[in-house]
Structure 1
Amino acid sequence: MTTQILLVPGFWLGAWAWDDVLPLLRDRGHDVTALTLPGLEAEPVRPPGEVTLDDHAGCIAAALDRDADRRVLVLHSGAALPGTLALDRHPDLVDHVVWVDTAPVRDGHAMNPDLEGDTFPLEAAWEEELAGGSMRDLTPEQLEEFRRRAVPQPAQTVRGVVRLGDPARLAVPGTVVCTAFSSEEYRSYAAEGVPFLAALLDHTALDYVDLPTGHWPMWSLPRELADVIDAAARPPA
């Protein structure tokens, strides 16, 4: 039986963000691919102002292995937006979703519809991220590499509106990896209607795993995150 694991990083990141996790999963016998979404290459192929949310969703969908027996889609942070779009368009191609400190979104959601310009650079969020504690457990070397390798996020992928139409996505099994906030807080915020978490109430086959650390567990707790992904990749008993 072949199982594909597709790793999709969040804002500002390329496939390199998974360098500590990917070999751990391959050592366990999985077929693993890490994506760099359009506009986030070290040397972007297209002007970032042209890259859309649909481009990112299409890239994810195209990377799903049609010939695999089982496909696990791993989405970190802002990758939840194009990931939810890809899931909505191809629910038959995803057997399990791992939501890494993120959640599916609802129809009509936009991360920041008022964002202006062609890009959203890391520096625009850096102080806020540090103040919020999401950098917890990262070493100075990891923080420096993050700043050095980060690519400005194409703005249309931040202000773009998610349009969904297939309720079959709601039944696709998923694991919500709760890091910067606990699973109890995730559920509480969803019940309060926090926009980025509200769709958790719609999905019918979600499990929650607490992995207390910051927002980038692929760097702070790679082995523990690999364990969670490996468990999700195993066929149901």
Structure 2
Amino acid sequence: MDIILVPGLWLDGTVWERVTPALEKAGHHPVPLTLPGMTHDADRTAITLHDHVEAVVSAIDAASSSVVLVGHSAGAGIAHAALDARPSRVAHAVYVGGFPTPHGEPIADDFPSEAGNVPMPDWSAFDESELAGLTPQLRETLRALAIPSPAGVLSDRQHLHDPARYDVPVTAVSTDFTSATLRGWIEQGLPPVREYAHIRTVHHVDLPAGHWPQLTRPEDLAAVIAAAAAS
């Protein structure tokens, strides 16, 4: 099965390199995406959320059959919009350390921008739970991978229109928070997670790995994704 891998902020498709071998060993075809503007020399000033969503939709359309769609962090919101555009083509969605951004909300507008770019902030901007598992070497690796994200992608409002998106089963992978915490947020109706209240089938998985499990626990993350594909 094609497994489309959508990275989060500041990252391109290479962040999945430690995850893809285990997916291939399980018989799947991983498709790690580098979204528009996410190369070091790109002009990001005109890149929009729609551009990123359309890139994921194009990958879904290019697959020979239904796909598993994986979104990490803010990439979960982008993946969710692509699922909304092609609900009949997505067999299962996996949201890793992120949420399916609701209609009308921004993907992630709480980071400062500089001339159309949103650089990855200093480590002090992150909670200790987010940094868990990042050894000094992995921190260097993550910094080397980091590319500024287009400001428009973070600030643009999500556009969803097809309620069939709620029929697609979702695996919610809690990484730097617990599944119990996530369920509590859903019960409270907090805006970032309110889509979950409408999704008919949500599987909750705890993967305590910090915010970047592709680096800290790649084989375990691959196993979670493969299980979603098998279901």
With the shorter chain as reference, the TM-score category is over 0.9
Output one character per residue of 1:37-96: Cα deviation in whole Å (capped at 9) or x when no partner. 11112332xx11110000000000101155533310010001122212111111111110
1:143 maps to which of 116, 139, 142: 139
Q: Is the 8 A contact 2:95 2:172 kept in 1?
A: yes
Output one character per residue of 1:186-215: Cα deviation in whole Å (capped at 9) or x when no partner. 010122232222211111111111111201
Cα distance in 2 between the residues matched to 1:67 and 1:39: 23
- Percent identity of paired positions between Structure 1 and Structure 2: 36
Q: What secondary structure, in the 3-state scheme, does the structure 2 residue paired with 1:133 have?
A: helix
Q: May I ask how many residue pairs the two structures share in their alignment?
A: 229
Q: What secondary structure, in the 3-state scheme, does the structure 2 residue paired with 1:199 have?
A: helix
Q: 1:76 to 1:164 in 2, by over 3 A?
A: same
Q: What secondary structure, in the 3-state scheme, does the structure 1 residue paired with 2:191 have?
A: coil
Cα distance in 2 between the residues matched to 1:89 and 1:198: 19
Aligned to 1:119: 117
Q: What secondary structure, in the 3-state scheme, does the structure 2 residue paired with 1:64 have?
A: helix
Counterpart check, 1:185 vs 2:181: yes
Cα distance in 1 between the residues matched to 2:58 and 2:167: 22
Q: 1:38 to 1:67 in 2, by over 3 A?
A: closer
Q: What secondary structure, in the 3-state scheme, does the structure 2 residue paired with 1:50 have?
A: coil
Cα distance in 2 between the residues matched to 1:119 and 1:25: 33
After TM superposition, which residue ranges in structure 1, 4 or more long, deviate above 6 angstroms? none
Q: What secondary structure, in the 3-state scheme, does the structure 1 residue paired with 2:94 have?
A: strand
Q: What secondary structure, in the 3-state scheme, does the structure 2 residue paired with 1:197 have?
A: helix
Cα distance in 2 between the residues matched to 1:150 and 1:14: 8
| Amino acid in structure 1 at the alignment position of 2:192 | F
Aligned to 1:170: 166
Listed as ranges, the gaps of 5+ residues in structure 1 are: none
Aligned to 1:77: 73
Cα distance in 2 between the residues matched to 1:223 and 1:53: 30
Aligned to 1:31: 29
Counterpart check, 1:10 vs 2:8: yes
Output one character per residue of 1:151-178: Cα deviation in whole Å (capped at 9) or x when no partner. 0010001001001110000110110111
Q: 1:113 to 1:183 in 2, by over 3 A?
A: closer
Q: Is the 8 A contact 2:74 2:99 kept in 1?
A: no
Output one character per residue of 1:209-234: Cα deviation in whole Å (capped at 9) or x when no partner. 11112011111111111111111111
Q: Is the 8 A contact 1:9 1:36 kept in 2?
A: yes
Q: What secondary structure, in the 3-state scheme, does the structure 1 residue paired with 2:45 have?
A: helix
Q: CA deviation at 1:115?
A: 5.4
Greater mean deviation of Cα atoms: 179-188 or 79-88: 79-88
Counterpart check, 1:210 vs 2:220: no
1:90 maps to which of 67, 86, 93: 86
Q: Is the 8 A contact 1:121 1:153 kept in 2?
A: yes
